[in-house]
Structure 1
Amino acid sequence: MTIGKWHAPRHAQGLSLIELMIAIAIGMVIVGALLALFLNVTRANNEMAKMNRQIENGRFAIQLLQDDLVHAGFWGDFVPRFEDRNVSAPDDMPNAIPDPCKAPGTWVAADRNNLIGIPVQADVGACATVTNQQADTDVLVVRHAEPSAGTACGGEVCFQASQCNAEINATPPQSFVLASSGHVLHKKNCSPAVLPVSSGDIAVTRKFISSIYYIRDYSVAVGDGIPTLMRSEFAGGEHQAAQPLIEGIEGFRIEYGIDNLGKNGAAVSYVGAVNRGDGIPDTFVNSAGLNCISAANCAAANVVAVRIHVLARSSEITPGYTDTKVYTLGSAGSMGPFNDGFKRHVFTTTVRLVNPSGRRETP
């Protein structure tokens, strides 16, 4: 009998050291590629988020300013005499840029005429609410009466316009009240023989709105380097401390559309040859050109449009990026290059001042 050879079982063979090193190397390459992809996607998402915030902040700033400006010069049914074509010798022409922070208790008739007749301005003098203003930026003041009408002022400075001929044609005229008390003017149906009449004939009272916009060079703490759009509102008889609105607004320049020619091409005149313009801006000037030297020479009283330029800056630096651009903000000038790692974008819009321009329109 033949005995067959016995074969020992074959042992399973593992990876050699060289094979293991090759596998590890390939794995590291794959992990490295995945890590690079993850970092690139994360970086792109971060840049997209920063860009979205920048665009949102710029558009929000433009929209906020536009919403306020469309109400500039709204005084209910009141028309200043210097804008009334039926008045050949008005006595209420603005003669100086008003101080928006002057105490109402010290206002005289000229101050009230200036506040009413110049609903937007660039000069705030030494107003204490404008602090740490960003260099090379403008200030914008917007004034109007609150659109909603009421009958009580509640201790605030309020505006009331008379519709009663006996008051309007009085000497001196009692066509409006701008104060914290004394709002007793009347509607059209008042009778001169029985003035004052019942409270049901009292003209509506509207809260006086005044807002100061500017750019502060920090957001939360002095020196944090985050430029921020600020607003100071008028309440309790004075402009309150400015409050931060939108971070990252680095540039703020304003151009003012001046209506200095009538439909016939003649210069605007408030005395004699009545020419109240046509409501269309004939030229745009920057803040330096928005002056009011006298009642006969007051460009600020002829503003019918405002062009806003806002330069929005990203919230964080972009690694590897250097901003070498020059940003043009209309005739108000340019900004840059900044030579830093922040990305920027200019937002611009032109707002028609519906109330002043509408009163000047001609058929």
Structure 2
Amino acid sequence: MMRSAHRNIRCLQAGLTLVELMVAMTISLMVLLALVSVYVNLARANDEMAKSSSLIDNGRSALQLLQNDLVHAGYWAGFVPQFDDLTFEHVPADVPTSIPDVCLDPASWTGAYKTNLIAVPVQTSDVLPSGTGCISFPAQRAGTDVIMIRHLETCVPGGLNCDTDTAGRLYMQTSMCAAEKNAGTVIGATSNSIVLDSHASTNNGAYTGVTLRIVSGTGMGQLRNVTTYVGSSRTATFDSPWTVIPDTTSVYAFEYALGSSAFPLHRRDCVGTGTPASLPITGGTLADKRRLISNIYYIADLPHPDGGGRTVPTLMRSQLDLSGGALVQRAPVRLLDGVEALRVELGIDNTGKTGAAVNYAEAVHWEDVSTKMRPTNRGDGSPDVFKRCTTADPCTADELMNVVAVKLYVLARSRDASQGYTDSKVYCLGEPDVDGSCPAANTIAAANDNFKRHVFTTSMRLTNISGRRETPEP
């Protein structure tokens, strides 16, 4: 009976049938397929989330980068143009006569050009500038704007978080010395030169690159840039003729030095020995010089970092610096991929607090001379109108000198396409009309491709400019 039981048990241990095996395999494959599907969907969702996060980061980073530069626009380390100086009681002589050409070779910069450059720290266009002073610029993406920003570096060369003093770079030094602000009396003059008085330096080239102003007497208000200075005769020669030739009633002053050499100006602790206190300086500290920053931002289509013959719209920046020993707007560097469009609107301050138009053809007028709180022919630091500068409607020098605010519009795009997604949206990069519709000039048509996009916008005041125009309310 024991042997019979063992035989029965062995008969019950038969293997799976073919049908059972096929059913088990089918169930296993279905489970595996479900797991693969979950994994693929999760990977795709993560990929789309990464694309969206990158799109948002690029858009915000583009705005932040431009804002960080614009916040310093018009910073000249203490120098204030006459037209923005409410304490200046005469007709300003430094109103810009033309819009600076950012691609002009710095070796060709004249005193008039420097005056225009300082007066217009922000300018925009829908066309990328070109010239001998700009090298190797990739083509601009159609329908986008270019913004140019100028200011001095906020740090001193060799100081904390600042580059070292580099020969050949462009620096600006502003005089804070009372003796240099009322330097001396003109001894003699020609059509493009003057002889400084006996207190001036006897060193050749001592004032080369310095901007000199006639502060009183004949020719008052005129500014000229010293191109050569002969110490033995104390003769300063300028880059352009005088409009009115100074004479022995004329008093001159040194305003600032903008160049790559000769920085002779002083801080407030200077000691002048002339009568009244003027040159020569017998004590005191040389004023700090700061590097001139000139940046050009625009959009270009560049090869995709992953290759494959694709391109990606990219935010570019060119900086004024040395390249091959020459001072130029250097070849632009790649900043942010996925920035497809940039539009800029400038806030122009063309009306004062009293409602009167800004007028620099006359000295500042005050509503009440005793309080001097409300100038009637100067701006108040608030934008009265916003304008986009284009080839069809370019901004004038008068408009650009009165820019006190900026609106930025950035259209960010994912670097890579999203499968199954079609962008059929129409984007508005600019202020809508009163009825809420988008003007045709501000419209970006639907791309109908597979890239995701988003519009980022911000507005900001240009503190260095708007702050100089503000006056307290009575």
User: CA deviation digits over 1:63-93, x for unaligned, max 9?
Assistant: 1111010000000111111111122301001
Conserved in 1, the CA contact under 8 Å of 2:153 and 2:291? Answer: yes
Shift of 1:6: 4.9
Give 2:396's aligned residue.
292
User: CA deviation digits over 1:182-211, x for unaligned, max 9?
Assistant: 321233344262624257432221111101
User: CA deviation digits over 1:158-196, x for unaligned, max 9?
Assistant: 111122345445524531222112321233344262624
Q: Please identify, of 233-242 and 123-132, the stretch whose mean Cα deviation from structure 2 is larger.
A: 123-132
Whichever structure has more helix as a proportion of its residues is 1
SS of residue paired to 1:34? helix
Alignment partners' CA distance in 2, 1:202 and 1:358 = 27
Shift of 1:157: 1.0
Alignment of 1:165-176 (within 5 A): 165-168=178-181, 170-171=213-214, 172=223, 173-176=253-256
Alignment partners' CA distance in 1, 2:257 and 2:279 = 17
Alignment partners' CA distance in 2, 1:309 and 1:259 = 21
Conserved in 2, the CA contact under 8 Å of 1:325 and 1:336? Answer: yes
Query: CA 1:85 to 1:52, structure 2 compared with 1: closer, same or farther past 3 Å?
Result: same
SS of residue paired to 1:201? coil
Conserved in 1, the CA contact under 8 Å of 2:180 and 2:279? Answer: no
Q: Is 1:214 aligned to residue 298 of structure 2?
A: yes
Whichever structure has more strand as a proportion of its residues is 2
Alignment partners' CA distance in 1, 2:399 and 2:30 = 70
Alignment of 1:236-255 (within 5 A): 236=322, 237-255=327-345
Query: CA 1:78 to 1:14, structure 2 compared with 1: closer, same or farther past 3 Å?
Result: same
Shift of 1:15: 2.3
User: CA deviation digits over 1:256-276, x for unaligned, max 9?
Assistant: 111111111111111326232
Conserved in 1, the CA contact under 8 Å of 2:320 and 2:330? Answer: yes
Give 2:238's aligned residue.
none
Q: CA RMSD in A?
A: 2.4
Aligned-partner residue type, residue 280 of structure 1: S
Match of 2:410 among 310, 313, 318: 310
Shift of 1:324: 0.6
Q: Is 1:334 aligned to residue 443 of structure 2?
A: yes
Give 1:278's aligned residue.
380
Conserved in 2, the CA contact under 8 Å of 1:255 and 1:307? Answer: yes
Aligned-partner residue type, residue 216 of structure 1: A
Aligned-partner residue type, residue 348 of structure 2: I
Q: Is 1:118 aligned to residue 120 of structure 2?
A: yes
Query: CA 1:125 to 1:207, structure 2 compared with 1: closer, same or farther past 3 Å?
Result: same
Q: Unaligned stretches of 5+ in structure 1?
A: none
Alignment partners' CA distance in 2, 1:277 and 1:285 = 17
Alignment partners' CA distance in 1, 2:170 and 2:57 = 34
Query: CA 1:346 to 1:144, structure 2 compared with 1: closer, same or farther past 3 Å?
Result: same
Alignment partners' CA distance in 2, 1:19 and 1:51 = 48
Conserved in 1, the CA contact under 8 Å of 2:168 and 2:260? Answer: yes
User: CA deviation digits over 1:326-359, x for unaligned, max 9?
Assistant: 1111146121301110101111111211100111
Query: CA 1:207 to 1:6, structure 2 compared with 1: closer, same or farther past 3 Å?
Result: closer
Identity %: 45
Conserved in 1, the CA contact under 8 Å of 2:380 and 2:470? Answer: yes
Q: How many residues align?
A: 357
Aligned-partner residue type, residue 146 of structure 1: E
Conserved in 1, the CA contact under 8 Å of 2:91 and 2:363? Answer: no
Alignment of 1:51-200 (within 5 A): 51-87=52-88, 88-123=90-125, 125-127=129-131, 128-129=134-135, 130-149=137-156, 154-168=167-181, 170-171=213-214, 172=223, 173-188=253-268, 189-191=270-272, 193=274, 195-198=279-282, 200=284
Aligned-partner residue type, residue 233 of structure 1: Q
Alignment partners' CA distance in 2, 1:42 and 1:95 = 60
- Using the size of structure 1 for normalisation, the TM-score is 0.91
Shift of 1:58: 1.2
SS of residue paired to 1:316? coil
Q: Please identify, of 179-188 and 145-154, the stretch whose mean Cα deviation from structure 2 is larger.
A: 145-154
SS of residue paired to 2:67? helix
Give 2:286's aligned residue.
202
Give 1:348's aligned residue.
457
Q: Please identify, of 328-337 and 77-86, the stretch whose mean Cα deviation from structure 2 is larger.
A: 328-337
User: CA deviation digits over 1:288-320, x for unaligned, max 9?
Assistant: 255225xxxx10001111111111111111001
Q: Is 1:39 aligned to residue 45 of structure 2?
A: no
Query: CA 1:199 to 1:139, structure 2 compared with 1: closer, same or farther past 3 Å?
Result: farther
SS of residue paired to 2:296? strand
Conserved in 1, the CA contact under 8 Å of 2:271 and 2:284? Answer: no
User: CA deviation digits over 1:241-260, x for unaligned, max 9?
Assistant: 11111111111111111111
Query: CA 1:261 to 1:290, structure 2 compared with 1: closer, same or farther past 3 Å?
Result: farther
Q: Please identify, of 154-163 and 180-189, the stretch whose mean Cα deviation from structure 2 is larger.
A: 180-189
Aligned-partner residue type, residue 337 of structure 2: E
- Using the size of structure 2 for normalisation, the TM-score is 0.70
SS of residue paired to 2:302? coil
